[in-house]
Amino acid sequence: MLSLREIRGDEPTAFTDGCPTRVVLDHVTSKWGVLVLAALAEGTLRWGELRRTVDGISEKMLAATLRTFVADGLVVRDAQATIPPRVDYSLTPLGRDLVEAMSPLLGWIAAHADAIVND
Amino acid sequence: MLSLREIRGDEPTAFTDGCPTRVVLDHVTSKWGVLVLAALAEGTLRWGELRRTVDGISEKMLAATLRTFVADGLVVRDAQATIPPRVDYSLTPLGRDLVEAMSPLLGWIAAHADAIVND
DNA sequence: CGGGATCCGCGTAGATACTG
DNA sequence: CAGTATCTACGCGGATCCCG
């Protein structure tokens, strides 16, 4: 298995408070971060589709989560000045790369969730 | 890239509120969950070592996070009735499996954190 | 040393209502 | 449709005290 020492070398890491790595980790593992990113992995989604896909998220948290990821350069927001308004969200290349790195974790959880919860 | 449809099939998923998958995802992506699991990837650690490794965690949150993972069957707690007391924490086989699934994500974040924070 | 129990304050999530 | 504004509630963290 890949050891932490190999992952991090000798630099400050996510284990160090205030390290940039910790900041990014907090964004990604924020309450709705993983689900929003995973939802966008399937392709571009509109605000309303995103809200329906990520079941249970409030509008406030969806807006906040998306704003964070747009600022991080992981998500693109495309607002069209039509009536009614239409706003599309999609992953940037960087965002797609991140979701690929997340997919083993998502797969593992999907496969083992029942065993963990039902013990 | 692996699509969500492939990951989840047609079952209820982490996207569905109340699904077991969502519960496990919440545990793992809880504020300190990833860091505690990653710390234990290196091997068995004592309470104090864990507290020092995961910089910034409070004793209360460390205890709560560990209790959750022990209940989930991801972490083993080994308390020895010596004076002074010694309590070791380590990953179960299931926990080790999970950390392996997490390692691409941790590696990606370590590699890209600076680029994201400094934009 | 390794916790558990409790109280308390603050920030952030959530629900609801309103707007362009 | 796609948000923002406002209010409330709870999770998280700090501090303290205690115990085996």
- Comparing CB atoms, the residue among B24, B54, B97 nearest residue A15 is B54
- Comparing CB atoms, the residue among B7, B14, B38 nearest residue A35 is B14
pLDDT at res. A4:
53
B84 contacts B41 by C-beta, under 8 angstroms: no
DSSP codes, A4-55:
HHHHHTTS--TTSTT-HHHHHHHHHTSTTHHHHHHHHTTS-EEHHHHHHHST
CATH of the domain at A83: 1.10.10.10
Strands of the A75-80 sheet, one edge to the other: A45-46, A86-91, A75-80
- In a domain, residue B1? The reply is no
Count of structural domains, chain B: 1
Residue numbers in chain A where pLDDT is lower than 50: none
- In a domain, residue B110? The reply is no
- In a domain, residue A79? The reply is yes
Q: Which residues of B touch A72 (CB under 8 A)?
A: 116, 119
Q: Which domain holds residue A75?
A: 19-104
Backbone angles phi, psi at A32, to 5 degrees: -115, 0
Per-residue pLDDT, averaged over B17-34, amounts to: 90
State which residue of chain A sits closest to B106, comparing Cα positions: A7
- In a domain, residue A83? The reply is yes
Chain A nearest-CA distance from B106, in A, is 8
pLDDT digits (tens, 9 = 90+) for B77-101: 999 888 888 999 999 999 999 999 9
- In a domain, residue A46? The reply is yes
With vertex at residue A103, the alpha carbon angle to CA A98 and CA A109, rounded to the nearest 5 degrees, is: 135
A110 contacts B116 by C-beta, under 8 angstroms: no
Answer yes or no: is A68 CB < 7 A from strand C: no
Does the predicted model carry a pTM greater than 0.85?
yes
